[in-house]
Amino acid sequence: MNTWRMDRLTLQGFKSFAERTVLDFLDPITGIIGPNGSGKSNLVEAIRFVTGARAQELRGQELKALLFQGGEGEPPAGFAEVRLELSRGRERLLVERRIEGEPLPGQRPPHEPQGPGPPPLGHGARRSFSPTWRRRRASSR
């Protein structure tokens, strides 16, 4: 039996990840290492968040505690989004979860249309407090 493999993790506005951050896992991973304050536990919490953990299980009492709070000249994030891409053989699974805070000055309100096609990470109008599950077929090669 094949197991699911983590291929990519994309974060934006989640805890210490203000900017869009994409982590590609070309090889299987067995651990996360780095200096204190580098975001190791936030990566693990992002994976737990996208797979359905509640805020109380993630060192936060409310969902808004998971948003980037601002710092060093960067304003707080008005949303947090995490996408996890998994594969098992030819199967592909995309799991994504997004939460929205209060709109910041200059931000588009979440209900404004985005135009054709799915919104790019960080510009969506979707409000979701539970994971969105989508299964994709692998492209034939």
Higher-confidence residue of 98 and 63: namely 98
pLDDT at 82 over 80: yes
Q: Which of 110, 118, 57 is nearest to 80 (CA)?
A: 110
Q: List, for residues 94-111, the tens digit of each pLDDT value.
A: 999 998 876 655 555 544
d(CA 11, CA 121): 9
Share of the chain above pLDDT 70, in %: 70
Considering the chain, what is the average pLDDT of its residues? 76
Query: Would you state the pLDDT for residue 114?
Result: 42
Band of residue 74 on the pLDDT scale cut at 50, 70, 90 = confident
Average pLDDT over residues 45-60: 85
128 versus 1: which is more confidently predicted?
Answer: 1
- Tell me phi and psi for residue 102, to 5 degrees: -75, 140
Write down the domain spans for the chain: 5-137
Task: Please tell me the CATH code under which domain 5-137 is placed.
Answer: 3.40.50.300
Query: Who wins on pLDDT, 139 or 23?
Result: 23
**According to the model, what pLDDT value does residue 133 have?**
38
Measured distance CA(136)–CA(84) in Å, rounded: 13
The residues that bridge with 134 in the sheet, in sequence order, are 94
pTM over 0.75: no
Contact 32, 40 (CB under 8 A): yes
Q: Which residues contact 77 (CB under 8 A, 6 or more apart)?
A: 12, 13, 18, 67, 68, 70, 101
pLDDT at 128: 34
